[in-house]
Structures are given as structure tokens and as C-alpha cells.
Amino acid sequence: MYNYLTHKKYYSPSQAQSTSGFKRIKAGIIGGAGYTGGELIRLLLNHPFVDISFVNSKSNAGKLISNVHTDLIGETNLTFSADLNDEIDVLLLCLGHGDAKKFLDEKGTALRKIFN
């Protein structure tokens, strides 16, 4: 698909898998139960070059993501996780004000690409 406003070509997920030269990014999400986390999950599920490795939520660990974010029913079978997976390329923080620093101080991470 071609966007005539931005002059960029976009690929569907099936096209992205067959398009050579593109590496899929493995992303982890911290704080996925809130509004920001839900919107990020929705965007990344439809992104042709991103795979969601885990969505962390202490309060919802083990629950289906679609049980919390009902707009995602039928879109994913991912569940919230209490654990973190180090096999990711990028960590996305969807935490409340000031909680990102607390999280990084508590957990510490060797990742170089962290977005808040």
C-alpha cells in the first residue's frame, strides 16, 4: 500500500515477512494494562516489522490482554506476564509519572533501547 500524503510505502504483515532486507523487531512492553499500554499494543499488533515478546503487568499477570483491553478481542491471544524477557530489541515503558525511573532503578537493564 502506498500513502500518497507521506509518499511512503507500507507493507502488510504477510508482505513484511516476505520482504527481504527487513529485520523484525522484538519488543517488550512494561505497564501494558493502562490506556497508553493498550493503545501501544493495538498499534504494534498491526505493525508489519514488530513482534511483541511480552506485555508486563503485575496486577494482571496470567490474564488475556483482551480481557483488559476489550477492543483487542479476536486480535491477539497474548497474556500479561509478571516476568521480563531479555531476548528483546527494545523495551517500551507505559508507566505512570515517575514510575519509569523507579522501574529502571529497581530492575536495572542492559538494554540500550528503552522508550518511555
Q: Domains for the chain: give ranges and CATH numbers.
A: 22-115 (3.40.50.720)
Tens digit of each residue's pLDDT (9 = 90 or more) over 10-46 = 555 555 454 556 789 999 999 999 999 999 999 999 9
Q: Looking at residue 115, what is its pLDDT?
A: 64
Give the closest residue to 58 by CA, choosing from 26, 89, 34, 27: 34
- Rounded to two decimals, the pTM is 0.75
Tens digit of each residue's pLDDT (9 = 90 or more) over 51-99 = 999 999 989 999 999 999 999 999 999 999 998 888 899 999 998 878 8
CA distance 72 to 39: 10
